[in-house]
Structure 1
Amino acid sequence: MPRLPHTLSDGMEIAVELKRSAKKNLILRPVDAQTIAINLPPFVSERRLHTWLRGNETLLRQTLAKGAKTLPAADSLPDWIWYHGIPTALTACERETVCLRPSEILIPDQTAARQKQRLRRFLNERAAEYLLPRLAEHAAALNLHPAAMALSNAKTFWGVCRSRTGIRLNWRLVGAPEYVADYVCIHELCHLPHPNHSPRFWSMVNAHTPHTEAAKSWLKAHGRELFALG
């Protein structure tokens, strides 16, 4: 099945799996948190499809959210997760707290559901330490000041910028390498003067980070894996 890359307004890369057997209307189906399957009529050109995708982002996000709900199994814990861009083993042990070691996270030997709950809480705390100071540092360097800075539990975006509510970063970016976290921070900050994805917006992003394409490629390759805990 052909796959078409598409970038949402917040810079999140998703994949669109195409099938051409629909008679009249486009039919959407969620695959996972970053993939949508679309069945479209043969007469719809790829250019027209791109226009439709740009004009129906709300529907795309709703469909992605449905796919995200099916990702993690509640009765199992993954063998490893990404942490700061490093594959990090998850090891059950006889202890009462979650403990971070080089390339390993120790978790109390409990049910998988309880382990996920405790690990998510631990990673949210680490995300606040990893992402928010980084965002504040970039904001000071760019002399751009969002109304607020916080984390989000979003299923369909890595960051969001609103003039009234400020910038929120997806806590799951605690798993991404530093250059990816930096890119998302700068991407959202550049939306303060440019609330769009115009050439001026991308010019500003690229002026402040040399890692735009590398970061987008990493998220495209590994972004789904950051949702291993739901």
Structure 2
Amino acid sequence: MQAQYQTRCGTRINYTLRRSARKNIIVRSGVDGVLSINVPPYISAKQWQQWLQNNEAVLLKLQHQSSAQSATKLPESLWYRGESYPCRIVADKDAMPLWQAQQGFRLPESIAADMVTAKQHLRQYLYTQAQAVLLPQLQQHAERLQYRPAAIALSKARTFWGVCRTHTGIRLNWRLIGAPEWVVDYVCVHELCHLSHANHSPAFWALVNRHTPHTQAAKTWLRQHGQALFVLA
């Protein structure tokens, strides 16, 4: 489960929580500053919050170290359209990263020499793909369901997959380009249904389920793989 803790000084600590530890709480560095924490099942919610408060300094240090390490490393793989593909540095003269179904993501040496620049290029490549794929997909669902959002656009948010506002329209997180098409279908339908119901009431979920058969499967996929879509931050 992906979660977030705000320290007493206002700094946010991002982590994934698993109830799988037998005796002790285990903390490991994750990707891009997201910590992986295993907690014994018997630890209550109140005890967990107290533990976080007591260990803020240690967690902040680990998060900083994880962020620094990630900034200098090329991801081993990236998710694209529901599949995980390797990232490879290649000795050719291509000016931009490329994706090929059989080879994954190919990054020219000239770009890979600077990991900060390399990640920026990869983000831009995927963002461009998201514009070309996700927005038309959202528009198709809007036409199918006969909704007219005020606008459609991409979002760079770190805390939600989509957002719907009556006056500003719908924005999809560009990182959904890494998710399977049917997961994106669910997010599109979810946000469009907010045009009829601005909450998560039973009526809202009934409408969502009426228009997509993938609600539970998509939510499960995002819980299991969602954090991996943020590997480029």
After TM superposition, the score normalised by the length of structure 1 is: 0.72
The residue identity in structure 1 corresponding to 2:126 is L
Q: Which amino acid aligns with 2:120?
A: Q
* Alpha-carbon spacing, 1:97–1:181, altered in 2? closer, same or farther (3 Å): same
Instruction: Select which of 82, 86, 95 maps to 1:89.
Output: 86
Task: Give distance in 2, aligned partners of 1:101 and 1:209.
Answer: 30
1:148 aligns with 2:131: no
Shift of 1:182: 0.4
1:114: how far off?
A: 1.1
- Equivalent position of 1:8 in the other structure: none
How far apart are 1:33 and its partner, in Å? Answer: 7.5
Which whole-Å CA distance do the structure 1 matches of 2:228 and 2:178 have between them? Answer: 9
| 1:20 corresponds to | none
Percent identity among equivalent residues?
46
How far apart are residue 108 of structure 1 and its match?
1.9
Q: Distance in 1 between matches of 2:132 and 2:141?
A: 15
Alignment partner, residue 78 of structure 1: 75
Partner of 1:216: 219
Partner SS state of residue 194, structure 2 = coil
Task: Note closer, same or farther for the CA distance 1:160–1:92 as it changes in structure 2 (3 Å cut).
Answer: same
Paired with 1:149 and 1:133, the residues of 2 have a C-alpha distance of 9
Q: Distance in 2 between matches of 1:126 and 1:33?
A: 28
Larger relative CO (CA 8 A, sep 6+): 1 or 2? 1
Matched residue pairs, number? 186
* CA spacing shift, 1:179–1:107, aligned 2, 3 Å: same
Q: CA deviation at 1:30?
A: 2.6
Structure 1: 5+ residue stretches without partners? 6-13, 18-27, 45-66
Distance 1:41 1:84 in 2: 39
Matched, 1:121 2:104: no
Name the SS for the 2:154 alignment partner. strand
Distance 2:211 2:100 in 1: 33
Which residue in the other structure is 2:198 paired with?
A: 195
Q: CA deviation at 1:98?
A: 1.5
Q: What secondary structure sits across from 2:70 in the alignment?
A: coil
* Alpha carbons 1:80, 1:89 under 8 Å: kept: yes
Residues 106 and 187 (structure 1 numbering): CA distance in 2 closer, same or farther, change over 3 Å? Answer: same
Give the C-alpha shift of residue 32 in structure 1: 2.7
1:229 and 1:139, CA in 2 relative to 1: closer, same or farther beyond 3 A? same
Deviation of residue 31 (structure 1)? Answer: 3.4
CA gap of 1:118–1:29, structure 2 versus 1, over 3 A, is closer
1:31 aligns with 2:27: no
* TM-score, with structure 2 as normaliser: 0.72
Identify which of 183, 204, 224 aligns with 1:180: 183
Q: CA RMSD in A?
A: 3.1
Give CA deviations for 1:92-125 in whole Å, capped at 9, x if unaligned: 1222222110050111222111110101001000
Offset at residue 41 of structure 1 (A): 4.2
Q: Tell me whether 109-118 or 133-142 shows the greater mean CA deviation.
A: 109-118
Moved over 6 A (4+): 33-39
Q: Report what 1:24 is aligned to.
A: none
Unaligned runs of 5+ in 2: 6-10, 18-33, 38-42, 50-62
